[in-house]
Amino acid sequence: MTSCMGFSYTVAAVIMLSSTLIFFGIVYTSYVQSNENIANANQKLVKSIYDLENTHVSITGYYYNSSSSLFIVNLTNNGSQVFNMSMANVLINGTMVKFNVSGPYLFPLQAVSISFKEPAGTYSLEIVMPDGYEIFREVVS
């Protein structure tokens, strides 16, 4: 009986030790993965802050073409970021509208024109650049 009892204690100890090692292996893997996710998120945050701090796009003027019902808005990039204008958004009174742009990219120290079709009136214009930078202006035709 004693030899069987000693064997069962040994088997129980081996099972407990194995279970503990497996448990800590799973916990450690999860810990490493979560730290990696946090580090990646921090890198993206730093890049986003850098992009926003180096963005300065301004509306240099606008006019309304009554024959075509088009608002034409001129933008100038005085910052150091390059923007893919197909990823920008134009909102009129809080509603996204389709727009055309004179060039696919807005490079530093470059100007582009955005045009959108709206009837004559007074509108709140918001242009949201791909990095989240927003430009607000009230436009009147």
Q: When comparing pLDDT for 52 and 83, which is higher?
A: 83
Q: Select the CATH number that applies to the domain covering 56-140 from these four: 2.60.120.1030, 2.60.40.1200, 2.40.30.10, 3.40.50.720.
A: 2.60.40.1200
Give the Cβ contact number of residue 88 at 10 Å. 21
Place of tokens 């709206």: 118
Task: Write out pLDDT tens, residues 56-114.
Answer: 899 999 999 988 989 999 999 998 889 999 999 999 999 999 999 999 999 999 999 99
Looking at residue 49, its pLDDT comes to 87
Q: What is the 3-state secondary structure (H, E, C) of 97-136?
A: ECCEECCCEECCCCEEEEEEECCCCEEEEEEECCCCCEEE
Nearest to 59 by CA among 108, 140, 127: 127
Looking at residue 6, its pLDDT comes to 67
Q: How buried is 47 (Cβ within 10 angstroms: 0-12 exposed, 13-18 middle, 19+ buried)?
A: exposed
Q: Which residue ranges make up each domain of the chain?
A: 1-53, 56-140
